[in-house]
C-alpha cells in the first residue's frame, strides 16, 4: 500500500509537491482483531457475503479468542483462604 501525502512547509502546503511513503501500518493492522472483525461485518452486512467465504477472518478471530482465554486462565489465581 502506498500513501501519497502533500509536503507541508510551515502552515502551508506546497502545491504540486507530493511525498510518497510506503505504509507499514497495514502490516500492524493485520495483527489487530478489530481489523478482521470490521472486515467480517462489512462483508456480511454490506455485501451479503457468506461467513464461510470469509473463513480466514473467522479463523483468525477464533484463534485470537482462544489465545485470550488461555492467557486469562493461566494468569487467573483463585485463593481459597
pLDDT(12) > 90: no
Angle at 26 between CA 29 and CA 11, to 5 degrees: 105
User: Alpha-carbon distance 37 to 45, whole Å?
Assistant: 12
Q: What is the mean pLDDT of residues 22-40?
A: 84
pLDDT for res 30: 86
Contact 43, 49 (CB under 8 A): yes
Could you say which DSSP state residue 10 is in?
A: T
pLDDT tens across 34-72, in order? Answer: 999 999 999 989 998 888 899 999 999 999 999 999 999
pLDDT, position 81: 54
Could you tell me which residue, 47 or 14, shows the higher pLDDT? 47
Q: What is the pLDDT of residue 13?
A: 45
Cα atoms in the Cβ-side hemisphere of radius 13 Å centred on 38: 6
Amino acid at each position: 500500500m502506498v500513501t501519497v501525502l502533500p509536503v507541508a512547509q510551515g502552515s502551508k502546503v506546497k502545491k504540486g509537491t507530493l511525498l510518497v511513503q510506503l505504509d507499514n501500518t497495514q502490516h500492524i493492522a493485520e495483527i489487530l482483531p478489530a481489523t478482521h472483525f470490521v472486515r467480517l461485518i462489512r462483508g456480511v452486512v454490506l455485501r451479503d457475503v457468506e461467513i464461510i467465504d470469509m473463513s480466514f477472518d473467522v479463523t483468525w478471530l477464533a484463534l485470537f479468542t482462544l489465545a485470550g482465554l488461555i492467557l486469562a486462565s493461566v494468569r487467573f489465581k483463585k485463593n481459597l483462604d
